[in-house]
Structures are given as C-alpha cells and as structure tokens.
Amino acid sequence: VKYLDRHKSPMLPEPIYMQDREGRFLEVNRAAVEMHGYSREELIGSTPELLAVPGRVDLEASKAAVRAALDGQPQVFSWWTRHKDGREFPREITLVRGLLFGEKVAVAMVHDLRARLDREEALEASERRYGTVFELASDGMLLVDPDSAEVLSANRRAAELFGPAREDLVGRELRQLLAPVEDDLEGGQAARLGEALDAALAGTATSVSRMTLRGVQDQTRWVDLGFSPLEHGLLVSVHDY
C-alpha cells in the first residue's frame, strides 16, 4: 500500500485506519465507522485504546507494531476490538507503511476472525466426537500414517483383537499387523490385502471381506477390513466374526 486517498477509502469494503507513529488515527473509512459505531469525528485523533478490549489487548505491543510498520516491516496479528455499545469481536490486523498527503503513515487493515474461529471451534468439537466414536467402536479401529503405513493410534477393541497393549500396536507396520495366516485358507488373501492397502493409501476408500489373520494368543480370526482415507491419515476398521 503506497497511497490511500481519503476520498476513495470510504469505498473499500474492509475497515481501514491510518495512524501516526504514536498510533493516533489520522483517517478512517466508512467501514471502520460502521464496525465500531463511533463517528468519524470521534475516531480521528483517538488511539487504539478507545477500541481495545481491556485485558485482551497489549497496547504497548500494538504501538510497537505501528512503529515497525512505519519503518517498513509489515505486521500481522490478532486483536480484540469492541463496538461502542460494548460488543467484543476478534479481528486480524495487517499493518503496512503508506502515504497520506505525502506523509508516511501506518495503514491498518482489519479482517474479521469470527467466521474462522467458529470454523475452528466446530472442527475441535467434531474431533472430540470422532475421538469418542473411535474409542468406543465395537470394531477394532486403527489410525495409520498414510506415508509410512505405520499405526498411529489404536482403540480398545483393536488391542483386544491383536493382543498387545494399544501402545505396543503404535509403530507397527500395517501390512505386517494384518498379514494373513500362513496357510492362507482363502487363497490370494495377501494379494487382496496388498491391493486394498495400496488403493487406500492412494486415497480410495475400499474394503476386503473374509480375511484370516493372526489375533491374540495366535488365534486365527476371520475378519472384514475397511479402509477409509482421512485428511491426515488412514482409518482401518477390523470386524471379526
């Protein structure tokens, strides 16, 4: 940002503030007025302290960021701001150096963080629900690294099926863990398992039915296997008969 005309800035959709080295507002646009509920006249000459949420903003750090931007070092940071009526909002601030009537100013552009925070909170809630389902599933469940094909996590039922404690399953190579028994009662099981694993690790959901593998205490178990690619891993379900 090199120059922002005071007559054009009202048309910009995001709140814009121009500040001097002390942080005082020299110019603001219409979006800034609408976001805070203060008039332009109330904002001009004031400092970020007017808009900061007490206890949630480091004002000295904010002033330092303004000075750094004026020295040519762009700044990006989170900031809690408030409306004139007391409502509080999380925002992301981008500070760059600009010119206002030939004078160097810090130009602050404000981005709404609420939508992003809502998405993050929804993701965290989803992960908590997923963790509960994973742990309490009636089938054995394994979370696998898609690059190394090693087990990252196992649920209670998986430990019951395979024998070792779940921490002993972590780090095991999936192809070895699910290897069919030596006599390969069905014939071609190893090949079917390999094809299914290759497809799943490449991102395609697949399944294999009527597999025999070695379970706890070397017992032969008949199982169906399901492979579900996730964003950061591979989920393997083991259903025994």
More confident residue, 49 or 214: 49
Tokens of 186: 């069905």
Q: What is the reported pLDDT for 120?
A: 63
Each residue's pLDDT tens digit, 109-134: 988 776 666 666 665 665 577 677 78
Q: What is the reported pLDDT for 83?
A: 93
DSSP secondary structure letters along 171-201: T-BHHHHTPBPTT-TTSSHHHHHHHHHHHHH
Q: What is the reported pLDDT for 8?
A: 46
Each residue's pLDDT tens digit, 131-180: 777 888 889 888 888 888 888 888 888 888 887 777 888 888 887 777 76
Q: Please give the Cα distance from 208 to 197 (Å, whole number).
A: 10
On average, the pLDDT of the chain sits at: 82
Across the range 93-104, mean pLDDT stands at 90
Residue 198: other Cβ atoms inside 10 A: 12
Count Cα atoms within 13 angstroms, Cβ side, for 57: 24
Computed over its alpha carbons, how large is the radius of gyration of the chain?
A: 29
Each residue's pLDDT tens digit, 70-91: 999 999 998 999 999 999 988 8
DSSP state of 85: T
Q: What is the reported pLDDT for 183?
A: 53
Burial class (CB in 10 A: 0-12, 13-18, 19+), 240: middle
Which of 88, 109, 85, 89 has the alpha carbon at shortest distance from 97?
Answer: 109
Tokens of 225: 């296997």
